[in-house]
C-alpha cells in the first residue's frame, strides 16, 4: 500500500478502534494486514502486521509505523504559523497545532519525531474528543 | 381512551404556536432514553439538536437521531458526561443557544448552570440559586418550613453528636441522621436506639465527608413505612405555577431506587390529595421556582411531610404526561425560552390511570446486581395504551459505565385495573435477551394482591423480597 492509502485507512480504522473500546484491532484486506494499537493516551498506532508483503513481491520496507495524533478535547483546531504540512520532517517532539476550548489553548504535540504523513483537519475546524488530526510516520 | 389535552391560551393546540424567542439549537447534555426524549421534544418544536456522547456510546440511538453529535470523552462519566469544558465547548462550536441537562449527570449542578449562562447559553431548568438551595437538604427544609410547608420533625445543621442526641431525645426514636449534601442514600443512617447514635453519626459524617466533601449533618424523625408521593409542577418565568397532580413511587428497591410508578396515587383520600397539591404549589412559589420540578413527600396516614425538591425532569415523568396530556419536556423548553404557561390550573384535568415499569439490566434474584453486555434480542411491546421510552435495540451493547435502565414501559387505561392489565400484557410481549432484566420480576409484582389493592408503603418491596427469598 502507498503511504496515502495507509493514512486514509488509518483514519477510518482509528474511529472503529476507539469506538470498539479494544486496545488492538487487526484488519486483513487481501494481502495487506493492518494492526492498530491504542495507547493509554488515546493515540492510535498503525503498523504493518507480520506477514504483510507488497503485491509486486518486492522486499517489504524495514520499518513503517504511523501514529494518529488525535484531539483529547472538544474545540476548534488552530494551525500554527507557518502551519504543519504533509511530508514535513519532525526532528524533535513539537507542537503541531492547538485546540481552543473555552478560550484555553490545548497544545497538540507530535509525541516524538517522524514525518507528517497526513493533515486530517482544516484550520478553524470544530473537532471532537478523539478526532484524528494528523498522522505521523515514525 | 381519547387523549386528554390541556387547553392553551388563544385556543391553539399545544405546539401550534411558535415564538420568535424559541431556541434555534439545543445541546442535549445526557445519554440514553432521556436524551432521545429531549431530542423528540426539540424536533417537534422545530428546534435543531446536538447530542454529546462518550466513546462507549458511539452507536447509541441518541447519537443517530440528533442533528449533530460530538464525542466529549471516554466511557467513564467523569471524563465524558460530566466533562463540563468539553460539553460547553461542544455547545458553543455548534452554535447552540441552550442546553437541556436531562436527569442525573449535571442536571442539578448549580455551577454547571452558571457556567452555561456565563457563556451565553440558556440552561433549561430553574435558576442556579434555586438549584443550589434545593440541593442543600437542610436549606431546602428551612425554606419550606418558613413557607408553611410541613417537614418531618427534626433539626437544622447540628454542631456535634451531643446536639444530635438532644434533638433525638426531643423528637423520639427512630431517627434518621442525614448529610445536608447527601444523595443516593450516602451519608444517611437510621438510628433506632440511643446507644447506636454516636457510631452512626461518626460513620455517616465520614461517608458524607468522603462523598460530598461536606460533613454537615442534621436530624430527622424516621417515618416508618410511609408512601412516597410526589407532585409534578410547572412554573414559568412570569409567576405562573400549575401542578400536574401526584405520582405514587412507593415501589422501591431496598436501595431506595424506584421500580414501578403510577399516577394518580391509588387508594388516596381526595381531601388529602387536594391538600398535597396546595402544599406543592405553595412551595413552588415560595422558592421562586421556574421550569419543571418535582416535590417529593412522605405520606403517613393523614400526615404529609416534605422530603426534597428535584429541580429537573424525572425518570417517571411519562405517567403524568399520559394522564394530563401535556408534553413536559416541550414545556421545559418553552418555559426556558421565556414563554408563559399556555394553561392555568383550571385547564388541567387528569384522565385515567398510568403506570410505569423500569426495565433495568439487573438481576432481581441477586440484589438487583447491574449487568453489562450485548443485547442479543430486543422486542418491545406495542398496541393500545402502551408507550416505550428506550435507547436500546437488538445488538446494542450495554456499557458498564452507566445507569442500568434500558427502557421505561408505560401503560395507560381508564382505570388503574385496566392500566395494570395492559402492563401485564405488554410485559408478556417484551423479549430482552443477552442480559438479565427486571421484566419478569415486575410482572410478578403487578400480580401481587397487596400491590393490586394499592396504598402500599416504601417498606413493601423490601419485605416482599425477603418473603420471596424464603424457601416455601
Tens of pLDDT, residues B408-418: 999 999 999 99
Of A35-49, B18-32, B39-53, B428-442, the least confident: A35-49
State whether CATH 3.40.50.20 applies to domain B25-132.
Answer: yes
Of B3-12, B70-79, B179-188, B227-236, the least confident: B3-12
Confidence at A41, pLDDT banded by 50, 70, 90 = very low
Distance in angstroms (rounded) separating the CA atoms of residues B235 and B239: 7
Q: ipTM score here? A: 0.87
Of B55, B72, B87, the CB nearest to A19: B55
Confidence at A65, pLDDT banded by 50, 70, 90 = confident
Say whether pLDDT at B454 is over 80: yes
User: Distance, in angstroms, between A75 CA and closest chain B CA?
Assistant: 6
Q: Read off the C-alpha cell for B95.
A: 452554535
Using a CB-CB cut-off of 8 Å, the residues of chain A touching B55 are: 18-19, 21, 129-130
Report B:73-112 residues touching A (Cβ under 8 A): 73-75, 80, 85-90, 92-94
Q: Do B89 and A131 touch (CB under 8 A)?
A: no
Give the angle subtended at the CA of B326 by the CAs of B325 and B327, to the nearest 5°.
Answer: 125
Q: Read off the C-alpha cell for B65.
A: 437521531
Q: Residue A91, Cβ neighbours under 10 Å: how many? A: 7
Give this prediction's pTM. Answer: 0.86
DSSP secondary-structure letter at B79? G
Q: Give the neighbor-by-neighbor strand order of the sheet with B175-183.
A: B154-158, B217-221, B175-183, B186-191
Report B:38-67 residues touching A (Cβ under 8 A): 55-56, 58-59
Q: Read off the C-alpha cell for B350.
A: 387528569
Q: φ and ψ at A117, to 5 degrees? A: -85, -35
State whether CATH 3.90.1300.10 applies to domain B153-221.
Answer: no
User: Distance, in angstroms, between B395 CA and closest chain A CA?
Assistant: 14
Share of chain B above pLDDT 70, in %: 95
Residues whose CB falls within 8 Å of the CB of residue B449, separated by 6 or more in sequence, listed in order: none
Compare A52 and B324 and report the one with higher pLDDT: B324
C-alpha count within 13 angstroms, C-beta hemisphere, residue B221:
16
The structural domains of chain B, with segments of one domain joined by +, span 25-132, 153-221, 227-469
Share of chain A above pLDDT 70, in %: 54
Confidence at A8, pLDDT banded by 50, 70, 90 = low
> Is B119 touching A (CB cutoff 8 A)?
yes
Q: Which residues of B are marked as active site?
A: 312
Q: Read off the C-alpha cell for B43.
A: 424536533
pLDDT at position B182, please?
Answer: 81
pLDDT at position A17, please?
Answer: 60
Q: Do A21 and B56 touch (CB under 8 A)?
A: yes
Q: Average pLDDT of B285-302?
A: 97
Using a CB-CB cut-off of 8 Å, the residues of chain A touching B71 are: 74, 128-131
Distance in angstroms (rounded) separating the CA atoms of residues B375 and B97: 36
User: Distance, in angstroms, between A131 CA and closest chain B CA?
Assistant: 9
Q: What is the pLDDT of residues B418-450, one digit of tens each?
A: 999 999 999 999 999 999 999 999 999 999 999
Of A19, A76, A104, the CB nearest to B93: A76
Residue in A closest to B87 by C-alpha: A74
Share of chain B above pLDDT 90, in %: 92
Domain B227-469, CATH class in plain words? alpha beta
With contact defined as beta carbons under 8 Å apart, do B60 and A74 qualify? no
User: Distance, in angstroms, between A81 CA and closest chain B CA?
Assistant: 22
With contact defined as beta carbons under 8 Å apart, do B142 and B156 qualify? yes
Residues whose CB falls within 8 Å of the CB of residue B63, separated by 6 or more in sequence, listed in order: B51, B53, B57, B69
Q: Average pLDDT of B314-326?
A: 98
Q: Do B93 and A129 touch (CB under 8 A)?
A: no
Amino acid at each position: 500500500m502507498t503511504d496515502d492509502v495507509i493514512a486514509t485507512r488509518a483514519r477510518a480504522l482509528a474511529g472503529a478502534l476507539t469506538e470498539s473500546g479494544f486496545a488492538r484491532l487487526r484488519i486483513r484486506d487481501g494481502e495487506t494486514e493492518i494492526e492498530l494499537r491504542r495507547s493509554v493516551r488515546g493515540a492510535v498506532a498503525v503498523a504493518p502486521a507480520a506477514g504483510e508483503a507488497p503485491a509486486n513481491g518486492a522486499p517489504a520496507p524495514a520499518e513503517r509505523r504511523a501514529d494518529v495524533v488525535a484531539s483529547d478535547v472538544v474545540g476548534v483546531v488552530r494551525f500554527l504559523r507557518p502551519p504543519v504540512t504533509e511530508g514535513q520532517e519532525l526532528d524533535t517532539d513539537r507542537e503541531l497545532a492547538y485546540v481552543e476550548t473555552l478560550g484555553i489553548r490545548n497544545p497538540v504535540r507530535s509525541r516524538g519525531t517522524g514525518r507528517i504523513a497526513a493533515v486530517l483537519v482544516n484550520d478553524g475546524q470544530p473537532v471532537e474528543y478523539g478526532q484524528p488530526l494528523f498522522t505521523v510516520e515514525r | 381512551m381519547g387523549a386528554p389535552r390541556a387547553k392553551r391560551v388563544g385556543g391553539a393546540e399545544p405546539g401550534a404556536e411558535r415564538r420568535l424567542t424559541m431556541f434555534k439549537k439545543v445541546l442535549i447534555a445526557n445519554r440514553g432514553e432521556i436524551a432521545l426524549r429531549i431530542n423528540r421534544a426539540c424536533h417537534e418544536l422545530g428546534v435543531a439538536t446536538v447530542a454529546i456522547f462518550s466513546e462507549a456510546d458511539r452507536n447509541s440511538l441518541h447519537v443517530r437521531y440528533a442533528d449533530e453529535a460530538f464525542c466529549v470523552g471516554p466511557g467513564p462519566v467523569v471524563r465524558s458526561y460530566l466533562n463540563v469544558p468539553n460539553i460547553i465547548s461542544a455547545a458553543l462550536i455548534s452554535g447552540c443557544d441552550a442546553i437541556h441537562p436531562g436527569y442525573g449527570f449535571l442536571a442539578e449542578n448549580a455551577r454547571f448552570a452558571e457556567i452555561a449562562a456565563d457563556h451565553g447559553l440558556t440552561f433549561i431548568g430553574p435558576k442556579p440559586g434555586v438549584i443550589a438551595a434545593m440541593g442543600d437538604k437542610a436549606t431546602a427544609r428551612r425554606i419550606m418550613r418558613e413557607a408553611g410547608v410541613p417537614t418531618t420533625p427534626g433539626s437544622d445543621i447540628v454542631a456535634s453528636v451531643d446536639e444530635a442526641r438532644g434533638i433525638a431525645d426531643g423528637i423520639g426514636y427512630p431517627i434518621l441522621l442525614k448529610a445536608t449534601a447527601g444523595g443516593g442514600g450516602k451519608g444517611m443512617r437510621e438510628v433506632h436506639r440511643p446507644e447506636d447514635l454516636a457510631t452512626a453519626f461518626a460513620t455517616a459524617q465520614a461517608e458524607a465527608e468522603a462523598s460530598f466533601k461536606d460533613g454537615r449533618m442534621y436530624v430527622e424523625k424516621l417515618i416508618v413505612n410511609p408512601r412516597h408521593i410526589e407532585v409534578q409542577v410547572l412554573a414559568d418565568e412570569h409567576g405562573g405555577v400549575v401542578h400536574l397532580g401526584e405520582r405514587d413511587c412507593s415501589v422501591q428497591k431496598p436501595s431506595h431506587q424506584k421500580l414501578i410508578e403510577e399516577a394518580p396515587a391509588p387508594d388516596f383520600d381526595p381531601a388529602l390529595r387536594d391538600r398535597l397539591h396546595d402544599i406543592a404549589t405553595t412551595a413552588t412559589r415560595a422558592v421562586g421556582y421556574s421550569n419543571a420540578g418535582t416535590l417529593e413527600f412522605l405520606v403517613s396516614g393523614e400526615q404529609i411531610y416534605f422530603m426534597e425538591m428535584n429541580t429537573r425532569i424525572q425518570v417517571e415523568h411519562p405517567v403524568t404526561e399520559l394522564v394530563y396530556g401535556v408534553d413536559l419536556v416541550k414545556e421545559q423548553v418553552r418555559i426556558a425560552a421565556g414563554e408563559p404557561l399556555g394553561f392555568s390550573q383550571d385547564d388541567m384535568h387528569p384522565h385515567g390511570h398510568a403506570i410505569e415499569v423500569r426495565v433495568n439490566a439487573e438481576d432481581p434474584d441477586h440484589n438487583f446486581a447491574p449487568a453489562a453486555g450485548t443485547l442479543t434480542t430486543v422486542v418491545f411491546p406495542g398496541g393500545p395504551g402502551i408507550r416505550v421510552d428506550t435507547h436500546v435495540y437488538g445488538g446494542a451493547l450495554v456499557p458498564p459505565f452507566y445507569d442500568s435502565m434500558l427502557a421505561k414501559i408505560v401503560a395507560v387505561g381508564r382505570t388503574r385495573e385496566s392500566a395494570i392489565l395492559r402492563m401485564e400484557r405488554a410485559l408478556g410481549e417484551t423479549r430482552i435477551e443477552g442480559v438479565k432484566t427486571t421484566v419478569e420480576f415486575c410482572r410478578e409484582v403487578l400480580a401481587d394482591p397487596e400491590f393490586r389493592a394499592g396504598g402500599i408503603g416504601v417498606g413493601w418491596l423490601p419485605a416482599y423480597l425477603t418473603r420471596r427469598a424464603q424457601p416455601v
